[in-house]
Amino acid sequence: MSVIIDGGAGVTFPDAVQQTNGVTNTGGDPRYYAARAWVTFNGSTTPPSILSSSNVASVSRSATGQFTITFTSNMPTANYAVAGMAFDATDSIVVNLRAQPTVSSFDIRVTDLSPFAGTASTSPSSSAYISLVVFA
């Protein structure tokens, strides 16, 4: 499959579907979709600072390593997928949902997995680089 990108003409897909505002739903098998929202933020600042985003109105911290991401425009359903990662130079970090998402926001927990670093504890982490993407 090839995708043609032309600075003046936009993006052309082989199944003749053209979108000028991004890919939302294309023909073909299997279909592919663009993210409905994404954000990269610094969780170590107070308040957390958004570095880059789309369809994210705000990021707030409720406790160390616990964040609420609020959408600019609601999701069509609360049954969406969230994928995320966080960076720490010395330890392994995991990002997971804290509660069932709503159409307007979701909560995450960022945890430092020190057991992989040879100790026997885990702790919340307000990592300086947290990145999330939402598909609905």
Per-residue confidence (pLDDT) for residue 53, from 0 to 100: 97
Q: Residue 97 pairs with which residues in a beta bridge?
A: 108
pLDDT for the residue 33: 74
Domain boundaries defined on the chain: 1-34, 35-135
DSSP state of 115: G
Per-residue pLDDT of the chain (136 residues; tens, 9 = 90+): 455 555 555 555 555 444 444 555 556 666 667 899 999 999 999 999 999 999 999 999 999 999 999 999 999 999 999 999 988 776 678 898 999 999 999 999 998 876 555 555 578 888 889 999 999 8
Neighbours of 18 (CB within 10 A): 12
pTM of the model: 0.74
DSSP codes of every residue in 82-94: EEEEEE-SSS-EE
- Alpha carbons 115 and 5: distance in angstroms, whole number: 45
CB-neighbour burial class of residue 96 (10 A; exposed 0-12, middle 13-18, buried 19+): exposed
**18, 30, 38, 87: CA torsion to nearest 10:** -130
